[in-house]
Amino acid sequence: MVACAEAWRGDGAILASPMGLIPSLGARLARLTFAPDLLLTDGEAYLVDADGGIEGWLPYAKVFTMLAAGRRHVMMGAAQIDRHGNQNISAIGDWKRPKAQLLGVRGAPGNTVNHPVSYWIPRHSPRIFTDHVDMICGVGYDRGAHELRVVVTNLAVLDFGTPERVMRLRSVHPGVELADVVAATGFPLAVPDQVPVTRPPTDGELGLIRTRLDPDGARERELA
């Protein structure tokens, strides 16, 4: 969650749009700590503070104006993602007769060409980190992505900080072996000589998570 929160560090007063529980908790944690200017929404028509108090109006249509202006940073999920950052949330298998029909492309194409995008993947595996994406929804750096900031998983943080803009290991989470991350990635991962360890939460952040943001521990179920 702290690694998700870190995705928004330095973003200033832009709209954070986290998809799903852990990214949402991360965005609220960032807002409460090192990114106090972040704009958060209630997922309906209001801008809210980290505790849900209303501070502004942002109806659906205005989200698109923020998007087009580039003043938004989304953290989405991915059923598949390749080394360039092409992402699939729509269909697995042959497009004409998919094995699984998922969400549809949703906002992924527009998001990825207009403003920063990050990804949260709770189960790092070779089926998700794949050589080939069955249907491109979010575009990768080889197809004109605006900025792919980070890919946060249950094992590691990845980014695209290579000259070719392909996926690189930025840090491994505490207690995770480098070899396990490489084995769970279905394409060759750029690995620097020294791989840092993802920073653990501070005592202050742990306190906020346990008492204010997620006192019922819903986060544990997403990672179970």
- 54-62, 65-73, 109-117, 196-204 -> range binding another protein (CB under 8 A): 54-62
Least Cβ distance, residue 164 to another protein (angstroms): 30
- 52-60, 94-102, 127-135, 160-168 -> range binding another protein (CB under 8 A): 52-60
* Cβ proximity to another protein, 62 vs 146, nearer residue: 62
> What mask, x for binding another protein by CB under 8 A, covers residues 58 to 87?
-xxx--------------------------
The CA distance from 140 to 81, in Å, is 9
Q: Which of 46, 103, 105, 201 binds another protein (CB under 8 A)?
A: 46
User: What sign does the CA torsion over 33, 149, 80, 195 have?
Assistant: negative
* Cβ proximity to another protein, 61 vs 224, nearer residue: 61
Least Cβ distance, residue 217 to another protein (angstroms): 24
Does the protein bind another protein through residue 224 (CB under 8 A)?
A: no
Query: What are the residues whose beta carbons fall under 8 Å from the beta carbon of 198, sequence distance 6 or more?
Result: 2, 3, 156, 157, 171, 172, 173, 174
94 CB-contact burial (10 Å; exposed 0-12 / middle 13-18 / buried 19+): exposed
* Cβ proximity to another protein, 44 vs 220, nearer residue: 44
C-beta of residue 90 within 8 angstroms of C-beta of residue 34 = no
* Cβ proximity to another protein, 60 vs 95, nearer residue: 60
Does the protein bind another protein through residue 44 (CB under 8 A)?
A: yes
In the chain, the DSSP E strands lie at 15-18, 40-41, 46-48, 54-57, 72-76, 80-81, 87-88, 91-92, 100-101, 116-121, 147-153, 156-159, 168-172
How many residues in the shown chain lie near another protein by CB under 8 A?
7
